[in-house]
Amino acid sequence: MIPFSKPSMTNLEQQYIAQSLQNTLCGDGAFTHRAVEMLGSRLENPRMLLTTSCTHALEMAALLCDLQPGDEVILPSFTFVSTANAFLLRGAKLVFCDIEPETMNMDVCLLPQLITPKTKVITPVDYAGVPCNMDAIREIADRHTLYVVEDAAQAVGSRYKGKASGCKADFACYSFHATKNYVMGEGGAIAIRDEEHFKRAEIIREKGTDRNQFLRGAVDKYTWCSMGSSYLPADPLAAMLCAQLERFDEIMKKRMNIWNCYHTAFAPLEQTGALRRPVVPDYAEHNAHMYYLILPSSDRRNQFIASLQARQIVAPFHYIPLHSSPMGIRLGAKHSSLPVTEEYADRLVRLPLWTDMEQSAVDQVIDAVWKAVTG
Ligand X SMILES: *Cc1c(COP(=O)(O)O)cnc(C)c1O
* Residues 36-75, mask of contacts with ligand X (x by CB under 6 A): -----------------xxx--------------------
Q: Which residue type, as a one-letter code, is found at position 259? A: W
If binding is defined by CB under 6 A, does position 32 make contact with ligand X? Answer: no
Least distance from C-beta 370 to ligand X, angstroms? 29
Nearer to ligand X, 188 or 228 (CB): 188
Burial of 1 (0-12, 13-18, 19+ CB in 10 A): exposed
Biggest CA pair distance of the chain = 72
Region of 134-142, 149-157, 341-349, 360-368 interacting with ligand X (CB under 6 A): 149-157
Q: How far is CA 250 from CA 152, 247, 296, 319, in A?
A: 21, 5, 35, 29
Q: Are strands 171-175 and 147-151 parallel, antiparallel or unpaired?
A: parallel
Region of 1-9, 80-88, 164-172, 226-234 interacting with ligand X (CB under 6 A): 80-88
DSSP designation for 334: P
Nearer to ligand X, 175 or 212 (CB): 175
Helix (H) or strand (E) holding 190: strand 188-192
From CA 234, how far away is CA 52, in angstroms rounded? 8
Q: How many residues bind ligand X (CB under 6 A)?
A: 14
If binding is defined by CB under 6 A, does position 175 make contact with ligand X? Answer: yes
Determine the distance from the C-alpha atom of residue 114 to the mean position of all C-alpha atoms in its chain, rounded to a whole number: 23
From CA 143, how far away is CA 106, in angstroms rounded? 18
Out of 154, 158, 165, 341, the residue judged to bind ligand X by CB under 6 A? 154
Least distance from C-beta 211 to ligand X, angstroms? 23
If binding is defined by CB under 6 A, does position 124 make contact with ligand X? Answer: no
Region of 147-155, 257-265, 331-339, 365-373 interacting with ligand X (CB under 6 A): 147-155
If binding is defined by CB under 6 A, does position 83 make contact with ligand X? Answer: yes
Q: How far is CA 17 from CA 25, 92, 248, 356, in A?
A: 10, 40, 18, 21
Least distance from C-beta 221 to ligand X, angstroms? 33
If binding is defined by CB under 6 A, does position 80 make contact with ligand X? Answer: yes
Query: What are 50's strand-pairing partners?
Result: 189
Region of 79-87, 135-143, 216-224, 345-353 interacting with ligand X (CB under 6 A): 79-87
- Give the chain's length: 375
* Cβ atoms of 133 and 284 closer than 8 Å: no
Least distance from C-beta 231 to ligand X, angstroms? 11
Per CB under 6 A, residues contacting ligand X are 53-55, 79-80, 82-83, 125, 151, 153-154, 175, 177, 188
